[in-house]
Amino acid sequence: MSVAENTVSTKLRGPSSRGRELQRAIVSPRFLVYASCTLVAAFASWLLGKDMQWDTLHYHLYAGFSALHDRFGRDYFAAGEQSYLNPYIYVPFYLLATSGLPALTVATVLAVIQSAILWLSYELAVAIVPADRLGTRIVIGASAAILAFANPLLIDQFGSSFADITTAELVLAGCLLLMGGVRNPVAWRIAAAGVLLGVASALKLSNALPAVSLAVVPLFLPVGWRKRLRHAVLFCVCMGVGFAFVSVPWSLKLERHFGNPFFPLLSGLFPSQQYVNGSSLEYRFVPTSLGAALWRPFAMATPVKMLHVETAAPDPRYLILMIAGAAALVCWLVRRWESGRIAAGEPRDVHEGRAQLALGSAFAINWVMWLAISGNSRYFLPMACVAAVLAIALLFRLFARRPTLRYCVIAAVLGVQICQVHAGAVFRPHLPWGGPWFGFPKALATGSQPALYFTVGMQSNAFVVPFLPPGSGMIGLDGSYVLGPEGANGAHILSLIRRFSPRLRVMIFDTRRDAGRRSDVPYPDILDGALAPFGLRLDTGGCAKAAIPGAPKLYLTTFGRAIPDLPWSRWYTMYLVTCRVVPRGTYGVRPASERAADLALNRLEDACPTVLQPQRTVTFLMNGQWLRRYGNTDVDAWVGGNHVYFESALGGDRLHDLGAVSAWEKEPPQIVCGREAGGRFFLRLKSN
Q: From the centroid of its chain, how far is CA 687?
A: 41
* Residue-level pLDDT at 130: 80
Q: Distance between CA atoms of 438 and 546, rounded to whole angstroms?
A: 13
Classify residue 677 by its DSSP letter.
T
pLDDT at 195: 97
Q: Which amino acid belongs to residue 609?
A: P
- Three-class SS of residue 150? coil
What is d(CA 652, CA 648) in angstroms, rounded to the nearest whole number?
Answer: 8
Residue 675 and residue 677: Cα distance in Å, rounded? 7
Taken as a whole, the chain contains a residue count of 688
Give the whole-angstrom CA distance, residue 167 versus residue 86. 12
Position 338 scores a pLDDT of 73
Question: Which pLDDT does position 14 carry in this prediction?
Answer: 54
**Beta carbons within 8 Å of 615's beta carbon, 6+ residues apart:** 276, 278, 605, 609
- Res 453: pLDDT: 95
Q: How much is the pLDDT for 25? A: 65
Element (H, E) at 364: helix 354-373
The whole-angstrom separation of Cα 615 and Cα 593 is 20
pLDDT for res 441: 60
pLDDT for residue 560 = 36
Residue 511, pLDDT score: 79
CA distance 189 to 395: 28
In the β-sheet with 504-509, what is the strand arrangement from edge to edge?
473-476, 452-455, 504-509, 573-583, 536-549
Burial class (CB within 10 angstroms; exposed 0-12, middle 13-18, buried 19+) of 377: buried
Q: Output the DSSP codes for 293-358.
A: HHHHHHHHTS--TTSSSSS----THHHHHHHHHHHHHHHHHHHHHHHTTS-TTS---TTTTHHHHH
Instruction: Report d(CA 139, CA 66) in Å as an integer.
Output: 45
Residues 61 and 97 sit within 8 Å (Cβ to Cβ): yes
Rounded distance, CA 596 to CA 315, Å? 48
User: 3-state class of 80 per DSSP?
Assistant: strand
Segment-wise mean pLDDT, segments of 10 residues, the chain, 688 residues: 46 60 73 94 94 91 95 94 95 94 96 97 93 85 96 96 96 96 92 97 96 96 93 96 96 94 88 82 89 95 91 94 92 76 43 83 96 94 96 91 90 95 89 83 63 91 90 91 92 95 91 80 89 92 82 51 52 83 86 88 91 88 88 88 86 77 86 85 80
